[in-house]
Amino acid sequence: MDLGSEAVHIDVFTLFPPWFDWFRGQRHVVNAMALGSSVEAVDYRAHTPLKAGQVDDTPFGGGAGMVLRVDVVEAALRARYGEDPVGLREHRRVIALTPGGRLLDDALASELADEPALTLLCGRYEGFDERILEHFVSDQVSIGRYVLAGGELAAMVVMDTVLRKLPGVLGDDSSAREESFSEALEGAPEYPHYTRPAQWRGWTVPEVLLSGHHARVDEWRREQSRRRAGGPLP
């Protein structure tokens, strides 16, 4: 089964680069970087052509909040990639995190893990000037139908799902292959897990898991997974 490419180079454009220091310190992310992937935070403000580090502005037509400016995002992308960002999306996935975008699921995570490189754009406040989405971006991705204060947490969720799919990142590749919603489980939720102690307050573990009979264990797991696919768990 295809678990994605060997490594992914991710640039995340943000007004808050230090947020990503924490993310980069997480064990599986450290593993991914040791195996050749990268996660770099690029500061929109570092490249703004405007005075006093301005990056956003009030919306035309009035209304609350601030909108990330198209000239600021263009300058940041140009500085990073040395080309007109209109052409960038032809050879690199440029993903804006937006609440209304394509919903992130396991299939999208696998698709992104197959890419050699990704650019993630985080919005803040009221979001992006629409021309950024129209002219620079190849995809819009949402982590759920609710509104976050900005795209940073969503970018971390996307990166987490992508990086853990790369070979070697979790230590044991079968844990990423046979997990909830994966192809291996035909899109169904994962089967239940148990570990020691085999008895706790009279709560037991299914006998088959203690049997050492791998084929029966496999069959039981698949059956449990299919049963869970029938509906949400309590």
| Residues within the interface to ligand ADE (CB under 6 A) | 97-99, 123, 142-144, 146-148, 151, 154
114 three-class SS: coil
Q: How many CB atoms lie within 10 A of CB 113?
A: 24
Q: Which of 148, 78, 147, 150 is nearest to 119 (CA)?
A: 78
Identity of the residue, 14 or 225, whose beta carbon is nearer to ligand ADE in the bound complex: 14
Identity of the residue, 3 or 122, whose beta carbon is nearer to ligand ADE in the bound complex: 122
* Token duo for residue 143: 């982590």
Least Å distance between CB 3 and ligand ADE? 25
Least Å distance between CB 45 and ligand ADE? 19
Least Å distance between CB 154 and ligand ADE? 3
Identity of the residue, 70 or 95, whose beta carbon is nearer to ligand ADE in the bound complex: 95
Least Å distance between CB 98 and ligand ADE? 5
Identity of the residue, 94 or 170, whose beta carbon is nearer to ligand ADE in the bound complex: 94
Q: Sign of torsion, CA 170 138 185 203?
A: positive
* Token duo for residue 32: 């991914």
What are the C-alpha distances in Å from 113 to residues 14, 53, 168, 219?
21, 34, 13, 29
